[in-house]
């Protein structure tokens, strides 16, 4: 019946998507036969903008790549800068970074659980998980000074110390959230409607997960025990005891279970961090100018492996910053998961990788005729964007152009 196939566009603006991304689905009846993904609607030119700013300013810019995994991006960037500068970060600062990282994982996974519930029409779960997530956000505000975009990192350490009263507060809230997580785990293993809705949806075999380079919970739910925290320990994960949660379900249900079990591991990590927190300074003095060199830094963000590359040229500004966010690595798997599934499963399949398109969108100019690729400078990029819209009749005359 291939004669009757039609193309259904999902996005760039679509109620089922939380952020703009274009999915063109070839549909035959209710079945999806082909998928093409188009990115770039959320491109903001952050990598390029980093080159115009000093390292200190870049921390706050990099942090705003993504609101949910802001600490992941800033820590990954800072690790690379600290490696180039040869800074020894004090252990107490490393532990505070780990603490914030795990609290971030808590709120990110709770958020995902709510969004997943929402996508399958289980909005009660959304309300409950987001209520519980709120207590974690308050905790982060207490610790770092903000609910998102914490700004706790600085080159050479962290900006705020933590006192025993705060640790006590963390342990109290972690206990309460753990109780709730146990309830959600019971729910996920008992509630038949949830199990039947998610089982077999968005199947991704172990071979496919490896071949397509899936990362994070998406890979772990397909039985690939891949976790940067264990494989290449950074900050203080080398001194902590935790296990990598995997599932052989290979579907959205598996991804739900893996994230719930990871929450339990995070509670254990937070307790270990609070118990082992060493004394000492929380930062060392960092130079403004970073010597020439390059570094690659890996970080296990809640969504998967986040990779940052920084090249320094001896000035106070980086020469190149490259970010590979986990969603970019997982998008190929989404195309695979959608194939031969029903159209109605699309929202939950896309949501199951916990996509973050603002992290992912990239820009490179490729000339198909000559096959050449080139980068664009900040002003060129801006001019190109404005002219692109002007050519399509969108009035940009009211936007003030600050071109050289």
Partner 1 sequence: MKKPAAMTRQLLRSLFAKPATSRYPYEPSKLPRGTRGRLKFDPAKCIGCRLCVRDCPAGGIEVTKTGDRQFEVVIDLGKCIYCGQCAENCNKEAIMLSDDFELAELQNSKLVLRYDVKPERKPAPES
For partner 1, which is the closer residue by CB, 197 or 336? Answer: 197
CA angle 223, 335, 229 (to 5 degrees): 40
Report if residue 160 touches partner 1, rule: CB under 8 A: yes
Distance in angstroms between the alpha carbons of the first and the last residue of the chain? 57
Report if residue 332 touches partner 1, rule: CB under 8 A: no
Q: Give the residue, chosen from 29, 36, 56, 390, that forms a contact with partner 1 under the rule CB under 8 A.
A: 56
**DSSP H or E stretch at residue 16:** none
Q: Give the residue, chosen from 190, 367, 368, 395, that forms a contact with partner 1 under the rule CB under 8 A.
A: 190
Q: Which residues contact 3 (CB under 8 A, 6 or more apart)?
A: none
CA angle 244, 246, 209 (to 5 degrees): 115
Report if residue 100 touches partner 1, rule: CB under 8 A: no
**Measured from the CB of residue 146, what is the shortest distance to partner 1 in angstroms?**
6
**Measured from the CB of residue 63, what is the shortest distance to partner 1 in angstroms?**
8
Residues 150 and 230: their CA atoms lie apart, in Å, by: 25
Binding mask 103-132 for partner 1 (x = CB under 8 A): ---------------------x---x--x-
Within 13 A of 243's CA, how many CA atoms are on the CB side?
Answer: 6
Do 206 and 222 contact (CB within 8 A), yes or no? yes
Q: Give the residue, chosen from 5, 28, 42, 54, that forms a contact with partner 1 under the rule CB under 8 A.
A: 54
Report if residue 382 touches partner 1, rule: CB under 8 A: no
SS3 content of the chain, % helix, strand, coil (to 5): 50, 15, 35
What are the beta bridge partners of residue 191? Answer: none
Do 386 and 45 contact (CB within 8 A), yes or no? no
Report if residue 141 touches partner 1, rule: CB under 8 A: yes
Buried (b) or exposed (e) across 208-223, using 16+ Cβ within 10 A? bbeebebbbbbbbbbb
- Helices H, strands E: what count in the chain? 15, 10
Q: For 241-361, where are the alpha helices, taking DSSP H only? A: 252-276, 326-338, 346-352, 357-360
**Measured from the CB of residue 319, what is the shortest distance to partner 1 in angstroms?**
19
Q: Give the residue, chosen from 64, 206, 298, 311, that forms a contact with partner 1 under the rule CB under 8 A.
A: 64
For partner 1, which is the closer residue by CB, 190 or 367? Answer: 190
Q: Give the residue, chosen from 10, 35, 39, 61, that forms a contact with partner 1 under the rule CB under 8 A.
A: 61
Do 55 and 315 contact (CB within 8 A), yes or no? no
- DSSP-derived secondary structure for 111-123: HHHHHHHHHTT-H
Report if residue 322 touches partner 1, rule: CB under 8 A: no
Q: Give the residue, chosen from 145, 233, 238, 375, that forms a contact with partner 1 under the rule CB under 8 A.
A: 145
Interface segment toward partner 1; rule CB under 8 A; list 28-36, 100-108, 187-195, 392-400? 187-195
Measured in whole angstroms, the distance separating CA 26 from the mean position of its chain's CA atoms is 28
Report if residue 268 touches partner 1, rule: CB under 8 A: no
Q: Give the residue, chosen from 192, 370, 372, 397, that forms a contact with partner 1 under the rule CB under 8 A.
A: 192
- Dihedral, 224, 229, 230, 233 alpha carbons, nearest 10: 140
**Measured from the CB of residue 176, what is the shortest distance to partner 1 in angstroms?**
13
Q: Give the residue, chosen from 195, 210, 244, 386, that forms a contact with partner 1 under the rule CB under 8 A.
A: 195
**Measured from the CB of residue 194, what is the shortest distance to partner 1 in angstroms?**
8
Interface segment toward partner 1; rule CB under 8 A; list 55-63, 220-228, 270-278, 362-370? 55-63
Report if residue 146 touches partner 1, rule: CB under 8 A: yes
Name the residues that contact partner 1, by CB under 8 A. 53-54, 56-61, 64, 124, 128, 131, 134, 138, 141-142, 145-146, 149, 151, 159-160, 183, 186-187, 190-193, 195
């Amino acid at each position: 019946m291939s004669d009757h196939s039609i193309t259904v566009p999902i996005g760039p603006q679509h109620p089922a998507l939380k952020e703009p991304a274009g999915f063109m689905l070839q549909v035959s009846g209710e079945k999806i036969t082909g998928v093409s993904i188009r990115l770039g609607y959320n491109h903001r030119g952050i990598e390029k903008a980093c080159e115009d700013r000093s390292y200190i300013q870049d921390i706050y810019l990099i942090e705003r790549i993504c609101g949910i995994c802001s600490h992941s991006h800033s820590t990954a960037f800072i690790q690379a800068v600290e490696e180039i500068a040869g800074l020894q970060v004090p252990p107490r600062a490393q532990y505070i970074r780990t603490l914030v990282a795990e609290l971030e994982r808590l709120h990110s996974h709770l958020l995902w659980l709510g969004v997943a519930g929402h996508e399958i029409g289980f909005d009660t779960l959304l309300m409950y998980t987001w209520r519980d997530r709120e207590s974690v956000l308050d905790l982060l505000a207490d610790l770092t000074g903000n609910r998102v975009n914490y700004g706790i990192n600085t080159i050479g350490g962290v900006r705020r110390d933590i006192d025993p009263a705060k640790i006590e507060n963390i342990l109290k809230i972690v206990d309460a959230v753990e109780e709730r997580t146990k309830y959600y785990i019971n729910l996920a293993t008992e509630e038949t409607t949830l199990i039947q809705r998610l089982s077999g949806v968005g199947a991704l075999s172990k071979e496919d997960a490896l071949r397509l380079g899936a990362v994070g919970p998406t890979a772990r739910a397909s039985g690939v025990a891949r976790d940067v925290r264990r494989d290449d320990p950074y900050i203080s994960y080398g001194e902590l005891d935790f296990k990598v949660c995997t599932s052989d379900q290979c579907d959205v249900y598996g991804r739900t279970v893996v994230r719930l079990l990871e929450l339990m591991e995070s509670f254990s990590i937070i307790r270990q961090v609070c118990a082992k927190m060493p004394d000492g300074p929380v930062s060392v003095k960092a130079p403004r100018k970073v010597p020439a060199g390059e570094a690659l830094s890996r970080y296990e963000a809640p969504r998967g492996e986040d990779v940052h590359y920084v090249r320094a040229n001896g000035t106070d500004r980086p020469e190149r910053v490259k970010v590979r966010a986990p969603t970019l690595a997982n998008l190929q798997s989404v195309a695979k998961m959608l194939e031969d599934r029903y159209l109605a499963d699309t929202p939950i399949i896309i949501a199951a990788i916990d996509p973050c398109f603002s992290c992912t969108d990239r820009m490179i100019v490729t000339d198909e005729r000559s096959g050449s690729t080139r980068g664009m400078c900040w002003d060129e990029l801006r001019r190109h964007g404005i002219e692109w819209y002007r050519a399509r009749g969108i009035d940009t005359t009211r936007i003030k152009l600050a071109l050289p």
